[in-house]
């Protein structure tokens, strides 16, 4: 068997063309070095070095083998460096599920920007899915973790609370409810007001959250329009087709004619979760990204 140390020993002798200097460079004694070179030549089998009492030189086979040995050494060194970088989380791949409003969450976008600057060689695969659509990919391992709203999870998935978002009311700029812009609007004032809602069949968790929020306030929602995407909802609000209960991250979407009013209720908020499989081991790159997300949110 030819081992990597045989290549190291041969390269040292080939470069020094002197067994004594090569042994000193390798920090071993000369007899074992001579034995290892002999073992290498026997294993090939080919005579790599021409030597007498005074001189050492490379044979044609030795010159060719030296070129190949350099290439092998370079490949091994590169593999060692890549393995070390992957173990440190500097290389690899991460697959992330995210909802349509995630790119508008300041903590999340700042973290991904920082992560990309620190770990430019990690491939990040982003998959836009609403909260409930992320469940099966998390269970199957298609995505490593998800950023989603609070929802009921199967036993194999666990969550960590990243932060809470306040609910706000999106209205068009000359809507009668704009009189509450400075004071905040009580939820009961939405009684009988046409609402633009998320579509329930797309599985978004915000639908259930908003329904429960209105129910606690004693409001039966009047759903005038439904849409599956955040920007569509705001577009319908801008067109005067209703108002909409949205989370604070929506306020980063600048849509002409849309204004946002705080709710008078202090406990009206939506939880944003980090969700992953309890039995799947995350790659070091994934672990670094999760650590950074949590640090940026809680610091």
Contact between 263 and 240 under an 8 Å Cβ cutoff? The reply is: no
- Collapse the DSSP code of 179 into the 3-class scheme (helix H, G, I; strand E, B; otherwise coil) and give the result: helix
Between 294 and 296, the more confident residue is 294
Reading the block at residue 275, the tokens are: 């969700």
49 close to 57: Cβ distance less than 8 angstroms: yes
Q: Residues 65-79: pLDDT tens digits?
A: 999 999 999 999 999
Superfamily of domain 90-159+277-296: Periplasmic binding protein-like II (3.40.190.10)
Name every residue whose Cβ is closer than 8 Å to that of residue 189 and which is 6 or more positions away in sequence. Answer: 177, 180
Same CATH topology for 90-159+277-296 and 160-269?
yes
What pTM was computed for the model? Answer: 0.79
Residue 202 — very low, low, confident or very high, per pLDDT cuts 50/70/90?
low
Q: How far, in Å, CA of 14 to CA of 97, rounded? A: 54
> Confidence class of residue 125 from pLDDT cuts 50, 70 and 90?
very high
d(CA 20, CA 297): 61
Give the CATH number of domain 160-269.
3.40.190.10
Angstrom distances, CA of residue 68 to CA of 10, 16, 47, 63, 73: 12, 18, 15, 9, 9
DSSP for 99-111, please give it. Answer: -TTGGG-HHHHHH
Radius of gyration of the chain (CA): 32
pLDDT in tens, 150-166: 888 999 999 999 999 99
Pairing type for strands 145-149 and 92-98 reads parallel
Q: Where are the domains of the chain?
A: 2-86, 90-159+277-296, 160-269
Span 247-273, average pLDDT: 90
93 CB neighbour count, 10 Å cutoff: 12
What is the assigned CATH class of domain 2-86?
Answer: mainly alpha
List, for residues 82-108, the tens digit of each pLDDT value: 999 999 999 999 999 998 889 889 889
């Amino acid at each position: 068997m030819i081992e990597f140390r045989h290549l190291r020993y041969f390269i040292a002798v080939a470069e020094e063309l002197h067994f004594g200097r090569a042994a000193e460079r390798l920090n071993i004694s000369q007899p074992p070095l001579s034995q290892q070179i002999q073992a290498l030549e026997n294993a090939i089998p080919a005579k790599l070095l021409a030597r007498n009492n005074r001189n050492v030189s490379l044979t044609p086979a030795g010159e060719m083998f030296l070129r190949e040995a350099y290439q092998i050494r370079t490949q091994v060194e590169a593999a060692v460096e890549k393995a070390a970088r992957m173990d440190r989380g500097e290389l690899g791949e991460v697959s992330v599920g995210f909802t349509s409003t995630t790119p508008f969450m300041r903590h999340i976008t700042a973290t991904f920007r920082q992560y990309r600057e620190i770990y430019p060689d990690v491939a990040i695969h982003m998959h836009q899915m609403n909260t409930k659509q992320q469940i099966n990919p998390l269970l199957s391992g298609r995505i490593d973790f998800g950023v989603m709203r609070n929802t009921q999870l199967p036993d194999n998935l666990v969550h960590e609370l990243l932060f809470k978002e306040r609910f706000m009311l999106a209205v068009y700029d000359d809507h009668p409810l704009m009189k509450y812009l400075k004071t905040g609007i009580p939820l009961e004032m939405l009684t009988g007001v046409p609402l633009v809602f998320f579509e329930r069949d797309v599985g978004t968790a915000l639908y259930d959250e908003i329904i429960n929020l209105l129910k606690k306030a004693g409001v039966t929602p009047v759903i005038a329009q439904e849409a599956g995407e955040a920007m569509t909802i705001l577009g319908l609000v801008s067109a005067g087709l209703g108002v909409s209960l949205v989370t604070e991250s929506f306020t980063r979407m600048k849509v002409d004619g849309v204004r946002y009013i705080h709710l008078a209720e202090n406990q009206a908020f939506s939880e944003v979760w980090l969700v992953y499989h309890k039995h799947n081991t995350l790659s070091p790159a994934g672990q670094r990204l999760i650590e950074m997300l949590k640090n940026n949110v809680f610091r």
